[in-house]
Amino acid sequence: MKSNFKYSIIILVIIVVVLVIFFPNKDINNPLNQSNETENLSDKNLEKRIISDLTRPFGITIHKNKLYISDFGAHKILIYDSNLNLLKTIGSFGIGKEEFDRPHSVDFDEKGNFYVTEFGNKRIQILSSEGKHITYLNSSKALEGPATGYFDKNYNFYVSDYSSNSLLKFSSDGKFIGWIGAKSDGTLTNGWEISGTSKVSSQPGGFDRLHMARVNSEGDIYVADTWNNRVQKFSSDGKFIGWIGAKSDGTLTDGWEKIGQSVSNNVEGGLNTPIAIDIIEEDNFIVFEFNGNRVQKFSSDGKFIEILEEGFNQGYDAKTYNNQLYVVDTGNKIVKIFSFS
């Protein structure tokens, strides 16, 4: 009997070992039942991520501790509280009031009304803080495909009109100030122009499908000149200051340069389709790259500092708020949030 019992124990142990080796507990290997979509990220800083209700997220704005996500694919704006609970959705597909066609970005004026850039409807729709239609932003220069809109500290409003290759500026009371970029005759603007038409250009001061603009504390404007693979800097009166990125001779800029041609480059300090910019401390800024799939940090004088995070999938926006970095990881249909020190 003792011998049979001993053999039974041995057989039982062998069975348990085989089960552990060949049929591991999935919950042990993946306790949160997560996919491997973040395996290329520096997960040590990952705090939270929004997965649900996102079809093709493009833009993100944080306003009064609420998170506004522009879902380009779902034609709506999603609003989350500070704990990332979904509070409300605004809009549906259409051309009418409180309807959207590919909403791209959201920002807020001094009264708390929010301005939605609609790429498909080629307009800026203004809604109340409750999401009710107020009016549309009017301009003597017709919008051809606005990507993003942004208010500076004085509530001037900047529209990056992706399809017309021009940056438009409006005053705090909604009056059109002018536009900058390359003119249809091949020359460049030298300040804000009221009339005329714009065209694509690789010349410094011109744009090839610009995507976003931000303004620093001095009033200087940083522009993500996406398909020229560079960030450009302009004065508050719309005059070209310089650009940063990789140069056609294989070297990199080391501060703002006034001449030369930019090219796509994935080395540190080079730029590969810069899509989003955000101003951080001391007028330093971050740049998010659509095809570079990373967030880089630069100094106010245009010098590379470091790579903050990388491994995304063709995202469209990145913002900082309360020492956190928010990244719209569009290809993975999520927003990722990192601690930001």
Q: What letters, b where the CB count within 10 A reaches 16 and e where it falls short, cover 193-218? A: beeebbebbbebbbbbbbbbbbbbee
Quote the tokens at residue 131: 């999401």
Backbone angles phi, psi at 13, to 5 degrees: -60, -45
Q: Which amino acid, residue 239?
A: K
* pTM of the complete model: 0.85
For the chain, give percent helix, strand, coil, nearest 5.
10, 45, 45
What is the Cβ-side half-sphere exposure of residue 289, based on CA atoms within 13 angstroms?
Answer: 27
| Total of domains in the chain | 1
What is the span of the domain harbouring residue 334?
2-339
Q: In angstroms, rounded to a whole number, what is the distance separating the alpha carbons of residues 59 and 63? A: 13
Contacts of 223 (CB under 8 A, 6+ apart): 160, 167, 207, 210, 212, 213, 231, 232, 233, 234, 277
Q: What is the DSSP code (8-state) at residue 330? A: G
- The pLDDT tens digits along the chain (341 residues) read 445 545 554 555 454 443 433 333 333 222 222 233 333 334 444 455 776 679 999 999 999 999 999 999 999 999 999 889 999 999 999 999 999 999 999 999 999 999 999 999 999 999 999 999 999 999 999 999 999 999 999 999 999 999 999 999 999 999 999 999 999 999 999 999 999 999 999 999 999 999 999 999 999 999 999 999 999 999 999 999 999 999 999 999 999 999 999 999 999 999 999 999 999 999 999 999 999 999 999 999 999 999 999 999 999 999 999 889 999 999 999 999 997 65
Residue 86's CB is within 10 A of a number of other CB atoms, namely 14
What's the Cα-to-Cα distance from 7 to each of 1, 3, 11, 110, 117, rounded to whole Å?
10, 6, 6, 81, 75
Report the CATH number that the domain containing residue 118 is assigned in CATH: 2.120.10.30
Write phi, then psi, for 119 (nearest 5 degrees).
-65, -45
